[in-house]
Amino acid sequence: MSSQYIVAHDVGTSGNKAVLVDTEGNIHGSAFQAYPVHYPRPDWAEQEPEDWWHAVTSTTRQVLEQSGVAPQDVLAMVYTTQMLGILPMGRDGRPLRPAIIWLDGRAAAQAGRVMRKFLHPRLFALVAGTELTGKDGIPKLLWLKENEPEIYDKMACFLDVNGYLTYRATGEMVFEWSCASAIGLDLKTKDWMRGILRYMGLDMTKFPSLVRSTDQVGGLTPDAARECGLLEGTPVFGGSGDSPGAAVGSGAVGEGDGHIYLGTSGWVGVVTEKIVTGRHGVVSIHSADPDKAFLFAEMETAGACLKWIADQFYRYEQADPAIPNVYALMDRDVETIPPGADYLVATPWMYGERSPVADTWVRSTFFNLSADHTREHLLRAVYEGVAYNLRWMVEIVEQQFKFPLPALRVIGGGARGAPWMQIIADV
């Protein structure tokens, strides 16, 4: 049995998942801690960065306690995190406001203005790898400059989730390549698109230094080590964004390997050595592998649609202590309805959409709803709506980008439900 271990954190939208693994890939402990998303206005979505850090420290201690592993046997700590958020940091090292996360669509006007400034979205995509929407980091920085100028002026630099947690762990403010490629990294030079960002009116002194996923950023500070229950100086590495990290976790690491992720959001991803120009809402960013790129088509709400069904139509079941897992009940219920949900169709776009059509304002619908339909029909329609949106994205990746996907690995919480996996396979 290995006596050396790594603590890995998956810092998502709804919470942080921590695992303690040995150097042979065996899991010795796991823990989860939830935290909220705040919606102060329509189309806004924010989180408190201290919630992320508290979840990291708490779950780190939990996996050590579960396993009995001694702190001196932990080789390193690393994060994979949600992307596309911005968190302005003051010169005193403290956040100046709550984080504006990936789900936030407040910057649609700024995104449209940037695209018009470049005459056509494809011209921008040729350099950046993708067109911009109101949920991307660059428009959010412009929104901050225009709507909260006092915070923008006080900002020493901005970070994302990965950058903030790396800072809390090591005291170093950096941005990892895969995360940065969604907020202004030039995929060819591996540097910020300085000329373009200045042309947009952004101050390059507020952009942090860049690191690779495999770089050791630093070691745990005394305070961070005490909070995590680890040794001071334990190495912390650059990590990655959640979607590139998920590709590694799925085993999709070779040229043209594809996978599907089903969590709060969902995506179809392909790893490639090619530098591809994004279009049709499909994004080309840096892979977790420093030598590869990652092409992915993301839908904003996949599992979030099921959560909405659970919250609205399974409230009593969620409150019933005799039903420990409402999603297992929903899996059984969906099988009582025939394919096609008796002609009921759901579109899974609860917070706008990125792919296959980028539209911040589009929303979900139930089409062809009749008095004969039950909550089980609504449930089946949502399962199928997500599946058809995934198929739409797969077709674009195959036809527009010429990546055949004869097999797809599926990961994420949604992959635990056999009925949903069968529906996706059928569609």
What are the pLDDT digits (tens) for 246-255? 999 999 889 9
Rounded to whole angstroms, how far apart are CA atoms 336 and 314? 16
- Co-location of 221 and 348 in the same domain: no
* Two tokens, residue 37: 């998303």
pLDDT, tens digit, for every residue of 28-48?
999 999 999 999 999 899 999
What is the sign of the dihedral through the CA atoms of 215, 218, 177 and 52?
Answer: positive
- Co-location of 279 and 406 in the same domain: yes
pLDDT(420) > 70: yes
Count of domains for the chain: 2
- Co-location of 336 and 215 in the same domain: no
- Report CA-CA distances (Å) from 356 to 179, 280, 284, 394: 21, 6, 14, 9
Q: What is the pLDDT of residue 123?
A: 62
> Which of 253, 274, 340, 267 has its CA nearest to residue 302?
267
Domain range for 299 is: 243-427
Q: What is the pLDDT of residue 283?
A: 82
Cβ-count burial 28-59 (b if 16+ within 10 Å, e if not): bbbbebebeeeeeeebebbbebebbbebbbbb
The stretch 50-57 carries a mean pLDDT of 98
Rounded to whole angstroms, how far apart are CA atoms 218 and 236? 6
For tokens 């396993």, what's the residue?
67
pLDDT(245) > 60: yes
For residue 185, what is the domain's CATH number?
A: 3.30.420.40
Q: Which of 26-40, 112-126, 318-332 has the lowest mean pLDDT?
A: 112-126
Q: What average pLDDT does the structure give for the chain?
A: 93
Q: What is the pLDDT of residue 121?
A: 59
> Which of 334, 267, 278, 333 has its CA nearest to residue 301?
267
The stretch 115-124 carries a mean pLDDT of 67
- Co-location of 183 and 297 in the same domain: no
Task: Tell me the H-state helices in 171-241.
Answer: 177-180, 194-199, 222-228
- 99-100 vs 409-411, strand pairing mode: unpaired
Residues above pLDDT 70, as percent of the chain: 96
Q: Which of 16-20, 22-26, 119-123 has the lowest mean pLDDT?
A: 119-123
419: pLDDT confidence band, cut at 50, 70 and 90? very high
**Domain boundary, last residue among 209, 238, 267:** 238
Tell me which amino acid residue 173 is: M
Rounded to whole angstroms, how far apart are CA atoms 422 and 411? 14
Give one word for 201, left, alpha or beta, with left for phi > 0 and alpha for psi -120 to 50.
Answer: left
Residues across the chain = 427
pLDDT(315) > 70: yes
- Co-location of 185 and 298 in the same domain: no
Rounded to whole angstroms, how far apart are CA atoms 228 and 207? 28
- Co-location of 97 and 146 in the same domain: yes
Q: Which of 62-66, 79-83, 127-131, 421-425 has the lowest mean pLDDT?
A: 127-131
- Co-location of 189 and 323 in the same domain: no
Q: What is the pLDDT of residue 423?
A: 97
pLDDT, tens digit, for every residue of 154-199?
999 999 999 999 999 999 999 999 999 888 898 888 999 999 899 8
- Co-location of 270 and 227 in the same domain: no
In DSSP terms, 27 is beta-bridged to 21
- Co-location of 272 and 196 in the same domain: no
pLDDT(1) > 90: no
Alpha-carbon radius of gyration of the chain? 21
- Co-location of 212 and 275 in the same domain: no
pLDDT, tens digit, for every residue of 209-223?
999 999 999 999 999
- Co-location of 310 and 401 in the same domain: yes
pLDDT(309) > 70: yes
**Run of H or E residues at 11:** strand 5-11
**Domain boundary, last residue among 206, 238, 270:** 238
Instruction: Please tell me which residue, 294 or 54, carries the higher pLDDT value.
Output: 54
290: pLDDT confidence band, cut at 50, 70 and 90? confident
Instruction: Please tell me which residue, 279 or 63, carries the higher pLDDT value.
Output: 63
Rounded to whole angstroms, how far apart are CA atoms 285 and 185? 9
Q: What is the pLDDT of residue 122?
A: 62
63: pLDDT confidence band, cut at 50, 70 and 90? very high
- C-alpha angle with apex 313: 380 to 340, nearest 5 degrees? 15
pLDDT(263) > 90: no
- Co-location of 162 and 293 in the same domain: no
pLDDT(207) > 90: yes
Local structure of 88: helix, strand or coil:
strand
Q: What is the pLDDT of residue 396?
A: 92
